[in-house]
Amino acid sequence: MSEQPEERRLIRRLRNWVRSTAASKYLHSSDSGTKHSVFSGGFRSALKSDIVTSLPWRSVFARPYPQTPKDNSEIAITSFWIHLHPASIRKETLKFSVTYGLGGLACGLFMVLAATGIMEMFYYVPATDHAYKDMVDLQHVVSLGKILRNMHRWAAHAMVIIVALHMLRVFLQKAYKAPRQLNWVIGVILLCLTMMLSFTGYLLPWDQLAFWAITVGTNMAGSIPLIGPKVRYVLLGGPNVDQATLIRFFVLHVVVLPMVISLFMVFHFWRVRKDGFSGGK
Amino acid sequence: MNPGSSGNAQKDKEYGLLGFIEGHPGNIPDTDVERISSYPHLVAREFLAFGLMLATLLVVSFLFDAPLEELANASKTPNPAKAPWYFLSLQEMLHYAPPFISGVFIPGLLVMVMCTIPYWRGRMSLMPIMFLLSAILLPLLDGIVWAGIHAVAPGFADATRSLGFPTFIMLIISAFGIGKLLLNPYFDDEARVEVLRKRLFLVFVGIVFVLVMIGQFFRGPEWRWVWPWQ
């Protein structure tokens, strides 16, 4: 049975309309009534509705784009990234002078450090006869390598400063008081881990600055009564700062400490979410 | 926090006693505070802050180069050999007290005492802060007190030098002093404790800052005092 062209066009429009009403529910389009009427479907809107109502799309974006205040709260439950935040916060804690954004900035700096650090690892070989040459190459041969190294270095210094300031801020606002005691302790651990990350990274360029800073630093550990020399030996992997030290510090810097600090960071954020934003109270 | 006093608890609802305990999951939240959804208000601000930070970092990275000195050389000791800047306060203390005290004992103590800060109450909350202060100040006196001990018992002083006994002794004495101070009725008032705690912590942070600055800018060969313009 062959259909007349007129009938076929009508059926197509009808099908588009059915699709787009399904989509409009999903899209929360305010003007869905006019946009997706039987006589104004059009190819683009049909394609759009086909995509956003498809199973793969909806498996990624479980909910439509938030439009109403209720959606804004619900997205804290349904979106992985947003759920790190509480659904709602006290309005006064939004003020910049409450936190100065220090904790968030420390987290941001960590992300920048992870990204630039991974890129540096493409060029860096942790061997005493290689490391320094790789640094010089990174400065002068690799495109934008100098900027990459500068960013990693300055972000590392900034992170130590910002984390320390964050701790000062929390102390002065008494934000460590009940129920946030545990999160203060985790914060102190995070400060120590930040300094350890910075310290282990200090050796990797294998220049005079790196070599002697680590020598001075590990000599202090060597002064512990009785076990000092053994502790120093374990840290250095030998009696002196050498190849064994470089690979130890490299593994600590790029694998062990980032993993540990990430776990503590996640725990820190989770506690913030559970305890609520102190907002200086 | 008290729902009764804020007058915002709902009248037709019954509340358990647990609702009045701060920090308890059953705590009745203040209903008079204005709440706002974190998406998009907070999330947008975070993105903005991240963007500004990234932009600043890029500008700084284009303007200033990270230092890279010559190849590491174990036989060529620079003078002075400086630790990374955040450890310079410890290295500065190393100038006055033995390495065990300034490099291991004091930093370990600082971290542990720092962790206990939230667990002290009332006037006792001054305790950890005063301890932090004395832990960073006393090693600076270590050498002087050691000279005194050496004058009385040179054998004992020499044999125990590396352990930095003077700092231990002074810490114990200052702990007693702090305890005595805390019994003062002046600290019956929580508000006074609060003010003093903040000030003492700021002094502690200030001392660490000054030590770092001295180590970075005012120390030359043999850790001698050098003016930055020299």
Q: Per residue in A150-165, pLDDT tens? A: 999 999 999 999 999 9
Best probe of the A interface among B33, B39, B203, by most A CBs < 10 A, is B39
pLDDT at position A2 is 59
Band of residue B158 on the pLDDT scale cut at 50, 70, 90: confident
Tokens of A170: 């929390």
Most confident of A81-90, B16-25, B171-180: B171-180
Which amino acid makes up residue B71? L
Tokens of A121: 């690892």
Rounded distance, CA B216 to CA A81, Å?
A: 41
CATH architecture of A93-275: Up-down Bundle (1.20)
Residue B94, pLDDT above cutoff 60: yes
Residue B13, pLDDT above cutoff 80: no
pLDDT at position B3 is 40
Beta carbons of B27 and B46 less than 8 angstroms apart:
no
Residue A154 three-state SS? helix
Q: Give the rounded percent of residues in chain B with a pLDDT score beyond 90.
A: 31
CB nearest to A88's CB, from B35, B77, B198: B35
pLDDT at position B60 is 97
pLDDT at position A30 is 46
Beta carbons of A210 and A249 less than 8 angstroms apart:
no
Model pLDDT for residues A218-261, shown as the tens digit of each residue: 888 888 888 888 999 999 999 999 999 999 999 999 999 999 99
Strands A88-90 and B35-37, bridge-based pairing? antiparallel
Band of residue A280 on the pLDDT scale cut at 50, 70, 90: low
Mean pLDDT of B183-199: 89
Residue A42, pLDDT above cutoff 80: no
Alpha-carbon gap: A19 to the closest alpha carbon of chain B (Å) = 30
Best probe of the A interface among B20, B57, B120, B161, by most A CBs < 10 A, is B57
Tokens of B206: 């200030």
Q: Do B34 and A90 touch (CB under 8 A)?
A: yes
Alpha-carbon gap: B73 to the closest alpha carbon of chain A (Å) = 6
A103 contacts: CB under 8 Å, gap ≥ 6: A166, A272
Q: Which position has the higher pLDDT, B156 or B201? A: B201
Phi-psi label, residue A33: left if phi above 0, alpha if psi -120 to 50, beta otherwise? alpha
Rounded distance, CA A272 to CA A77, Å?
A: 16
Tokens of A10: 């009508």
- For chain B, the average pLDDT equals 85
> Which residues in chain A (177-236) have CB-CB distances under 8 A to chain B?
177-181, 184-185, 188, 192, 195, 198-199, 202, 205-213, 215-217, 219-225, 228
Rounded distance, CA A87 to CA A72, Å?
A: 8
B213 contacts: CB under 8 Å, gap ≥ 6: none
Domain boundaries in chain A? 1-53, 61-88, 93-275
Mean pLDDT of A154-181: 93
Question: Which residues face B36 on adjacent strands?
Answer: A89
pLDDT at position A84 is 82
